[in-house]
Structure 1
Amino acid sequence: MKLHGRVAVVTGAGSGIGRAVALSLARRGCRLALADIDEQGLRQTGEQVGRTGAGHSLHRLDVASREQVRALPAGVLAAHGRVDLLVNNAGVALGGTFEQVSEDDFDWLMEINFHGVVRMTRAFLPHLRAGDDARVVNISSLYGLISPPGQAAYSASKFAVRGFSNALRHELEGSRVGVTVVHPGGVSTSIARSARVPAGLDPDEARRRKALSEKLLRMPPEKAGEIIVRGIERRKARILVGTDAKIAALIERFFPVAYWKLLKKGVQP
């Protein structure tokens, strides 16, 4: 996919993988519609994108809001006139076992991580179809490949993104819109530090879990962004980001039930 001159919408662009993907696209000559609920982070990304010379617009967006998502395409088209690429990256984390996580917290996470992806795709798909070459890129996770204990909500949301992306790809076969699902492994972003903690969880246990998560987040987001954008250029249906994601995918493939017995030794605190 030739990215120069294309228009890309990137959610969760205010930090982490979203910012890194935006900058990688900008360096390739993309114009960008940057969206995030974090206005300060969004402005900072905009400043960095601006230094590359790429045209861009900033859009304050809560992907959990139906009204805001429905209104976004009009704003993007007013700023750029077209849409060629949609990167659904916005997401949140929530630690805790299924029994520790409240129904409200579980629903909060699903609204952002899964329903936000679906809403954005529904809002922009007609405009992507209008172009000559377009793509939907949905960011799943390592935990959309494997399901470790203590990640029931997060893993459910990322498996849902994976399943939605795969089915949508099959449905759009033969059209000018491709679909890519991305599974990042341990990328060094703020998602673990900002993860919501279930009410009533022992503070020491919460700190232990966050420390373990931090330990596993090693890859710089800039490297992850480049891997993702190179995969988009190659029209890859699935992008595994990091050796950990590749190993997990392979082990899960051959040991779909027993894989956790093999993997858990490597993630002990």
Structure 2
Amino acid sequence: MQASNKVIVVTGAGSGIGRELTLQLLKKNANVAGIDIHQNTLTETQKLAGVGDDRFKGFVLDISDKTKADALPNEVITHFGSVDGIINNAGIIQKFIHVNDLAIEDIYRVMNVNFFGTLYLTKAFLPHFLVRPEAHIVNISSMGGFIPFPGQTIYGAAKAAVKLLTEGLYAELKDTNVHVTVVHPGAIATNITENSGLGKPQADANAQQSKMALPAPRAAEIIIKAMESNKYRAMVGKDAMMLDILYRVNPRFATNFIGKMMKKMVTNR
């Protein structure tokens, strides 16, 4: 689905990849309903875009709140007149600790935002997409959704659920006007750690990760291109592409390799 003249919902539009997706979609002549939990960051995104409410409208929403998620499509349609797609980008990571040490409340929070938030909005908008000439659902999983990262196991489980949800939706909707794409980003230079309520990474670790991470504008460019090409699956970053191949060839070796890398990263945090 081409972005031009479409109304596209972007979650997490106040920062990181979500902000870059919004800015690039607006440049492609799409109109964007930006969703974020913080009004101030949505305002910043609109200022950076330099557009009025007719092109970008921010909606403050906790995507894990099903009642408010169910009400969102009517709010978007009331403002823009229609809706053609959604990029379910918003997400949080967990504390960098093992499942045995992770509080059940933290587990619920990660699952509620990453999986149920994506599910709630997908179900809320899907009936409206089905009556459009063409529509698109893009769900952002993670390379953690196909290969395990110790210390991020629950995050990975949530993103694996997003992966299977999206692939199942593709199978169910392939004979309709609704296209579906699942995206697996690798390391991206964003402030997801801070946005997840985990504070700022230590300076040394943050610098090292920044060197390895793909810039958010490039990640957004790849995601939009995948949507406009109606791709089934998109890898974002060389690390995601490499690990995808490695995990397919030798899952145990790949898992052990990631385990060693995570130990080094946690030690440096």
Shorter-chain TM-score above 0.5: yes
Unaligned runs of 5+ in 1: 198-202
Aligned partner of 1:36 in structure 2 is: 36
Unaligned runs of 5+ in 2: none
Letter in 2 for 1:114: F
Aligned partner of 2:249 in structure 1 is: 254
Task: Kindly indicate whether the alpha-carbon contact (under 8 Å) linking 1:184 and 1:240 is maintained by their aligned counterparts in 2.
Answer: yes
State the alpha-carbon separation in 1 of the partners of residues 229 and 159 from structure 2: 23
Aligned partner of 1:23 in structure 2 is: 23
TM-superposed deviation, 1:48: 2.0
Aligned partner of 1:47 in structure 2 is: 47
TM-superposed deviation, 1:173: 1.2
State the alpha-carbon separation in 1 of the partners of residues 53 and 233 from structure 2: 30
SS in 1 for 2:111: helix
Aligned partner of 2:120 in structure 1 is: 119
Q: Check if 1:136 corresponds to 2:137.
A: yes
State the alpha-carbon separation in 1 of the partners of residues 92 and 127 from structure 2: 27
Aligned partner of 1:200 in structure 2 is: none
Write out per-residue CA displacement over residues 202-252 of structure 1, whole angstroms, 9 at most, x where no aligned residue. Answer: x9xx967x9647633421111111111111111111111100000010101
State the alpha-carbon separation in 2 of the partners of residues 231 and 33 from structure 1: 20
TM-score (norm 1): 0.91
Q: Check if 1:232 corresponds to 2:233.
A: no
Write out aligned runs for 1:181-260 (5 A): 181-196=182-197, 212=205, 215-217=208-210, 218-260=213-255
TM-superposed deviation, 1:196: 4.3
Letter in 2 for 1:15: S
State the alpha-carbon separation in 1 of the partners of residues 29 and 201 from structure 2: 42
State the alpha-carbon separation in 1 of the partners of residues 174 and 201 from structure 2: 46
State the alpha-carbon separation in 2 of the partners of residues 216 and 175 from structure 1: 41
Aligned partner of 2:149 in structure 1 is: 148
TM-score (norm 2): 0.91
Q: Percent identity?
A: 34
Aligned partner of 1:2 in structure 2 is: 2
Task: Kindly indicate whether the alpha-carbon contact (under 8 Å) linking 1:186 and 1:244 is maintained by their aligned counterparts in 2.
Answer: yes
Task: Kindly indicate whether the alpha-carbon contact (under 8 Å) linking 1:11 and 1:35 is maintained by their aligned counterparts in 2.
Answer: yes
Task: Kindly indicate whether the alpha-carbon contact (under 8 Å) linking 2:190 and 2:216 is maintained by their aligned counterparts in 1.
Answer: yes
Taking a change above 3 Å as real, the CA distance of residues 188 and 54 of structure 1, as seen in their structure-2 partners, is farther
State the alpha-carbon separation in 2 of the partners of residues 49 and 235 from structure 1: 26
Taking a change above 3 Å as real, the CA distance of residues 91 and 211 of structure 1, as seen in their structure-2 partners, is farther
TM-superposed deviation, 1:112: 0.5
State the alpha-carbon separation in 1 of the partners of residues 4 and 196 from structure 2: 35
SS in 2 for 1:192: helix
Please provide the CA RMSD for this pair.
Answer: 2.2
State the alpha-carbon separation in 1 of the partners of residues 135 and 98 from structure 2: 39
Q: Report the more deviating stretch, 188-197 or 133-142.
A: 188-197
State the alpha-carbon separation in 2 of the partners of residues 244 and 213 from structure 1: 17
State the alpha-carbon separation in 1 of the partners of residues 66 and 207 from structure 2: 33
TM-superposed deviation, 1:50: 3.0
Task: Kindly indicate whether the alpha-carbon contact (under 8 Å) linking 2:54 and 2:80 is maintained by their aligned counterparts in 1.
Answer: no
